[in-house]
Amino acid sequence: MDGICHIYIVRFRETMDFSSKIAFPDTLFIQDIDGEKLIYNMQENSYFALKAISREIWEYLYEGRSLEETLDILLEKYDIDREILERDMESFIHSLIDSRLLSLEPSEQHS
């Protein structure tokens, strides 16, 4: 290997607390166009378009609902396994956090 060292970094995430509330930065410009939720993060100079369930999740959270409340609403609305929806929502929320579109706030019961 001629002295070359390969380092792999694996990022482990804690299990998401679905009772958390969501905080949104003040630097977002949000608009609905042709069934999409368009989000422009002015600080990061990045643009996002959300459709279908991702749009619904965003809207429930933006209204002030917790992840748990949003999960329950979607479980009532769609025929989907809870574990699958939790996993998919967790992945989606982490991608939004990584893109600095939102952050998690500890729930009041954990404060």
In whole angstroms, what is the distance from residue 79 CA to residue 46 CA? Answer: 33
Query: Distances in Å between the alpha carbon of 60 and those of 12, 52, 111?
Result: 27, 13, 23
pTM above 0.85, yes or no: no
**What pLDDT score was predicted for residue 111?**
45
Helix/strand/coil for 53 = helix
pLDDT for 108 equals: 63
- Please give the span between the terminal C-alpha atoms of the chain, in angstroms, as a whole number: 51
Q: What is the 3-state secondary structure (H, E, C) of 66-100?
A: CHHHHHHHHHHHCCCCHHHHHHHHHHHHHHHHHCC
pLDDT digits (tens, 9 = 90+) for 31-42: 999 989 999 999
Question: In the chain, what percentage of residues exceed pLDDT 90?
Answer: 50
